[in-house]
Structure 1
Amino acid sequence: MPTPEEIREVLKINVKDPELMLNVVDLGLIYDITVEDKSATIAMTLTSPGCPVGPMILGDAQRYVHQAFPELEEVNIDLVWTPFWNPSMMSEDAREELGIF
């Protein structure tokens, strides 16, 4: 079974916010990843509750993880709003890219 770190790397490489053109890991949208038996659960958020590309981002996360690790029978996305996302959750590189210091 994959580790949470391996799943995080797949998300970082493959899943981007198409409006900001940054990956969901560097944006700070991935809160937790658990792997139990043959199931992975990814607790993540979006930059805002009304994010128009939210369904696409969530679908991409599920699809890419399942493709990378076909041994997982389930890849569940748990959309959470607590804590509410804010720019301080981004990596330093992401903040620099967007000009947020």
Structure 2
Amino acid sequence: MIGTPFPYDGPQQLLAVIVAALEGVVDPEVALNIVDVGLVYGASVKDGRLDVNVTMTSAACPVADVIIADIEDALDRALPADLRIHVELVWEPPWTPQRMSASAKHFMGW
């Protein structure tokens, strides 16, 4: 879908809810939401399950567990109770600052 901040495959009526929930999750190291930082690589809904692939800015990220727990909590609060949520931490392709939104780059002074 054009204009979607990350690849999405699933019912269109859930897309805005998923994006809003993920935009509510903040990477505490940069004080920006994970969508603007470019940490969300994609999401798909199939057979009653939401799969979300995310990365971190570094494999040494000290708050990765916190961010993943925050993602799960935000999605769990926003989505129907019968939709199972699975968040996967991936490292390919590696994150780069080019993944950041224009507003995040502006915030960082880039």
Q: What's the TM-score, normalizing by structure 2?
A: 0.83
Q: Secondary structure at the match of 1:94?
A: helix
Amino acid in the other structure paired with 1:68: A
Residues 9-35 of structure 1: per-residue CA shift (max 9 Å, x gap): 2111x1000111000000000011001
- Structure 1 runs not aligned, ≥5 long: none
Distance 1:28 1:72, change over 3 A: farther
In the other structure, the counterpart of 1:52 is 62
Distance 1:22 1:72, change over 3 A: farther
- Structure 2 runs not aligned, ≥5 long: 1-10
Percent sequence identity is: 35
In the other structure, the counterpart of 1:36 is 46
Kindly indicate whether the alpha-carbon contact (under 8 Å) linking 2:43 and 2:50 is maintained by their aligned counterparts in 1: yes
Residues 32-83 of structure 1: per-residue CA shift (max 9 Å, x gap): 1001122100011011011001100011001110111133441101111111
Q: What's the TM-score, normalizing by structure 1?
A: 0.90
Q: Does 1:62 align with 2:72?
A: yes
The number of equivalent residue pairs is 99
